Chain A
Amino acid sequence: EAGVTQSPTHLIKTRGQQATLRCSPISGHTSVYWYQQALGLGLQFLLWYDEGEERNRGNFPPRFSGRQFPNYSSELNVNALELEDSALYLCASSLSGTSWQPQHFGDGTRLSIL
């Protein structure tokens, strides 16, 4: 069974640009989560999608957005990139959006802002 896959592995952008990160969940999983792992800040919840709908959002500005496609894959968009957006972005999926279902993580996308 294929795990959660994320692309690209590494993304280099400059300030003000836009970045798009992609995630494919484990087959059969309907919930997708995005987390930001910045140095010194630990993992912060960004967005949660389930059955194509945004279910919850972390404490991030509106320039962080995303969507979930009918095949349950997801995309995270970050507009007007700032230096502090440099981080590892992790995607996770679970069977459903219930709290007892463990989340399975991808390898992440390292976003570097120059």
Chain B
Amino acid sequence: AQTVTQSQPEMSVQEAETVTLSCTYDTSESDYYLFWYKQPPSRQMILVIRQEAYKQQNATENRFSVNFQKAAKSFSLKISDSQLGDAAMYFCACSFSGYSTLTFGKGTMLLVSP
């Protein structure tokens, strides 16, 4: 069975600082896609960033970037220049070959202080 693990239930960062959220996964598949979603208190899940497993280059979206280590099955999210609006629950998710359904980690609550 494929699993996604987020080992940090909660992380704190100050405005303008950088924070890294960890995610590991386990699969025997060679073809899969990794996602980070953000769920603010308004509860709508918002896609933050996506990474294709076959791509060596790490994905970047403005202040958000990933560190994808395929051999280590690690997919961490780095948020640079943190803003108050980044405060939310962050979920790491994976869709595995042949199944477009998402397997989610349990989430990391990110707190941002002024």
Contacts and interface: CB of A to CB of B under 8 A. Distances in A.
A105 B105 CA distance: 17
Contacts of B98: 99
Contacts of B45: 90, 92, 105
Interface residues of B, number: 28
Main secondary structure of the interface of A (DSSP, over half): strand
B25 interface: no
Given A92-B45, A107-B42, A100 B33 contact: yes
Nearest to B46: A105
Interface stretch (A18-26, A40-48, A73-81): A40-48
Interface residues on A, range: 20 to 34
Interface of B: 31-33, 35, 37, 42-47, 50, 52, 91, 93, 95-107
